[in-house]
Amino acid sequence: MIEVSHLTKRYGTVTAVRDLTFTVEPGVVTGFLGPNGAGKTTTMRMLTGLVSPTSGTATIDGRPYGQLRRPSRTVGAVFDASASHPGHTARDHLRVYAAMGGYPDSRVTELLDLLDLTEAADRRTRGFSTGMRQRLNLATALLGYPRVLLLDEPANGLDPEGMLWLRGYLRRLADEGRTILISSHVLSEVQQLVDDVVVIRRGELLAAGPLSRLAGPPAVLVHSPDADRLTTVLRGSRADGDPPEVEAVGGGRLRVRGLDAPGIADLAAAHRLRVHELVTEHPSLEHLFLNLTNDEHLTNDEHLTNDKAVTTCGT
């Protein structure tokens, strides 16, 4: 388990992290989210002892990194997607780290295979693509079978196939009971990847907890030529006590909260009302973030992106 308690880091007049408190549980993938400059990397560096806190504590399994007995067995961390020596091959790179941690060469072979790098193993890393570098870094972090993984922007630069692979891979590691914290400033990138989130901005905590609880239940967009009558039926129905919320969004479309798509379809059928389309809208992390910041605009230095566009930029 990762515990961050009243953690603060100041660089001169800049407060990178301010009185930050949160925990990261094992067995789930936790997203560490916030715009550029929010303090994600600084916090992760404090967790791995690369930066010392101004005040507060950052511990892993109850101890600061420097006091762990076998740090590489406990924590695997990835910070920079180009950290390998360009003249080394992937195999050389892993062998150097394996030797430092006291792991056998067979572990190197195993990881190259696990991360689908066997074919590229004897090529120099200067020619590696971003996705290959990300895999190599992940392999390096995994050398000591760590219980805790800290990955700084692991999805950066991955193509859709790479994202799918990363998602499956992190899920497997979490299912094995590991503690996984991944940072990102690209919300849509991690939406499908994480169970829990810790959201920070300007070094301060905005929210923490399961994404499903923070983002709220999904809404259903209904397209019906009988939208008015369907609205009356929905409002008069009683799913779990409270009737669903119905909002007309124009063009014969309704946005319904509090009843799922099958429930709406069954109700419409029972009243012989036509439904042409039902779309479940899962709440986006982007909306969660905007709600948390009260729709305040981000400044020019803070970029928080979704897949379609840069979310907001102040003027």
Return residues touching Mg ion (CB under 5 A). 40-41
Residue appearing with tokens 């030529």:
225
Q: What is the dihedral of CA 172, 49, 94, 166, to 10 degrees?
A: 30
38 interface partner picked from ligand ATP, Mg ion, none, CB below 5 to 8 A per type: ligand ATP
Q: Which of 115, 131, 121 minimizes the C-alpha distance to 88?
A: 121
DSSP labels, 209-247: EEHHHHH---EEEEE-TTHHHHHHHHHH--SSSSPPEEE
For position 305 contacting ligand ATP by CB under 6 A, the verdict is no
| Nearer residue to Mg ion within complex by CB, 75 or 143 | 75
For position 14 contacting ligand ATP by CB under 6 A, the verdict is yes
14 interface partner picked from Mg ion, ligand ATP, none, CB below 5 to 8 A per type: ligand ATP
37 interface partner picked from ligand ATP, Mg ion, none, CB below 5 to 8 A per type: ligand ATP
42 interface partner picked from Mg ion, ligand ATP, none, CB below 5 to 8 A per type: ligand ATP
Restricted to residues 131-190, the positions that interact with ligand ATP (CB under 6 A) are 185
Restricted to residues 35-64, the positions that interact with ligand ATP (CB under 6 A) are 36-42
CA distance 22 to 46: 14
Residue 79 Cβ, how far from Mg ion at the closest point, in Å?
Answer: 9
| Nearer residue to ligand ATP within complex by CB, 24 or 273 | 24
The residue count for the chain: 315
Residue 299 Cβ, how far from ligand ATP at the closest point, in Å?
Answer: 11
Q: Which of 285, 305, 49, 228 minimizes the C-alpha distance to 58?
A: 49
Instruction: Decide: 246 and 264 in contact? Cβ < 8 Å.
Output: no
Q: Using CB atoms within 10 A of its CB, is residue 77 exposed (0-12), middle (13-18) or buried (19+)?
A: buried
Residue 38 Cβ, how far from ligand ATP at the closest point, in Å?
Answer: 4
For position 34 contacting ligand ATP by CB under 6 A, the verdict is yes
In single-letter form, the type of residue at position 175 comes to D
For position 311 contacting ligand ATP by CB under 6 A, the verdict is no
For position 16 contacting ligand ATP by CB under 6 A, the verdict is yes
Stretch that binds ligand ATP, among 9-17, 123-131, 167-175, 274-282 (CB under 6 A): 9-17
Beta bridge partners of 11: 14
Residue 152 Cβ, how far from Mg ion at the closest point, in Å?
Answer: 6
Stretch (H or E) spanning 286: helix 285-292
CB atoms inside a 10 Å sphere around CB 100: 10
- Residues in the site for ligand ATP, rule: CB under 6 A? 11, 14, 16, 34, 36-42, 185
